[in-house]
Amino acid sequence: MTATFQILSLAFVLVIGAVAIRDHQRLRARRAALLDEAAAALISPSITWGGDGFPKLRGQYHGQDIHVDLIPDTMVVRRLPQLWMSVTLLTPNPDLSALGMLVRYAGNEFYSLTSELEHRLDPPTGFPQEVLIRSGRPSGNALLNELRQPLAKILADPHVKEVAITNKGLRIVRQAAEGRRGDHLLLRQATFDTSSIPYGELEVVLAELGTLQLAISQRGSARAA
């Protein structure tokens, strides 16, 4: 009886292990393909993968370098895990002070640029009330007011988490997916049902970044005139 029980126990462990390996491989395969569709929005797209299996997309949009990163966030409080899509337009803005806007600030946004800035600013009219705005300089209000209209339009999207402006470029962080409730509650795992980030979703962010960069350029031209 004891030998039979031991054999059955070993078989059970082996089956559970095989299922776990299979599920892990499927999960990594799903993660690896998340940006395949969205890559078509860029010129000369290139995809690499991090140690967590999430892809990183690099390419060009209107002649400027774009970085797209997926950030799994399991540090949310009283909410399901989130998958953020961070889209960065790399373009020099040497005369600008850093400016960041973080919506629904909780204090544990490890990916946030806004949280690293020193000077807190009051939100202008038309901005979400729950937005944290910070600048790299005390004079950041001038830039905030000049870009108020395009920023307010971007922040009106409930999926947008952060907008950041630095002298190296622009960034928008947007919700890409929310974790599966059952896996989070029972297994404390971050499993996302999304199999692919839609082409159109990345296109929206790229257009917003382009509009914001145009407003920055026009601001500089107006001052020079």
Q: What are the tens digits of pLDDT across the range 144-200?
A: 999 999 999 999 999 999 999 999 999 999 999 886 544 444 444 556 666 688 999
Name the residue among 87, 38, 81 with its Cα closest to residue 206. Answer: 87
Q: How far is CA 19 from CA 12, 192, 219, in A?
A: 11, 19, 58
Distance, CA of 106 to CA of 100 (rounded, Å): 15
Q: Given phi > 0 = left and psi -120 to 50 = alpha, else beta, which region is 126?
A: left
Give the chain's residues under pLDDT 70: 1, 3-31, 75-79, 179-195, 220-225
Q: What is the pLDDT of residue 145?
A: 93
Q: Which two tokens stand for residue 46?
A: 């290139």
Q: What is the DSSP string of 131-167?
A: EEEEESSTTHHHHHHHTHHHHHHHHTSTTEEEEEEET
Distance, CA of 142 to CA of 163 (rounded, Å): 17
Q: What is the pLDDT of residue 4?
A: 67
Which residue type is seen at 54?
Answer: F
Determine if the pTM surpasses 0.75.
yes
